[in-house]
């Protein structure tokens, strides 16, 4: 059971929430930046293209990290649930009586 909680919590805390918060915080800032880029587009096209490219790179990076976290959450949860099923299947009889619940 601890492995299931660990799989869900650690993947969410380490890989899903930080890039999600990064997208939320800097995504709002980028809406303001878009207006500034449109104003300076005629004066400095190269700088505007560079800013847009950098923003695309970090957004792609954040999305890939979130997807990696979701995949890790899925595989970790599957492995934990599978081990729980195996444990209870091995330690309980067919008629649901405890055979060896507290192994020595």
Residue with tokens 């799989």: 7
* Structural domain spans, the chain: 2-91
Q: Output the pLDDT for position 52.
A: 80
CA atoms within 13 A on the CB side of 62: 17
Between residues 74 and 101, the one the model is more confident about:
74
CA pair distance 69, 87, nearest whole angstrom: 26
Q: What is the model's pLDDT at position 81?
A: 92
Ranked by mean pLDDT, the top range of 19-23, 31-35, 43-47, 89-93 is 19-23
Model pLDDT, residue 36: 63
Q: What is the pLDDT of residues 30-85, one digit of tens each?
A: 666 666 656 655 557 777 677 788 888 999 999 999 999 999 999 999 999 999 88
- Residue 5 in tokens: 């909680």
């Amino acid at each position: 059971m601890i492995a299931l909680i660990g799989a869900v919590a650690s993947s969410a805390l380490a890989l899903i929430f930080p890039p999600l918060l990064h997208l939320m915080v800097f995504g709002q800032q980028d809406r303001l930046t878009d207006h500034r880029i449109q104003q300076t587009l005629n004066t400095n096209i190269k700088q505007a293209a560079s800013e847009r490219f950098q923003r695309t790179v970090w957004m792609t990076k954040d999305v890939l990290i979130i997807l990696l976290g979701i995949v890790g959450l899925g595989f970790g949860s599957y492995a934990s649930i599978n081990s729980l099923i195996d444990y209870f299947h091995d330690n309980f009889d067919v008629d649901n009586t405890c055979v060896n619940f507290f192994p020595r």
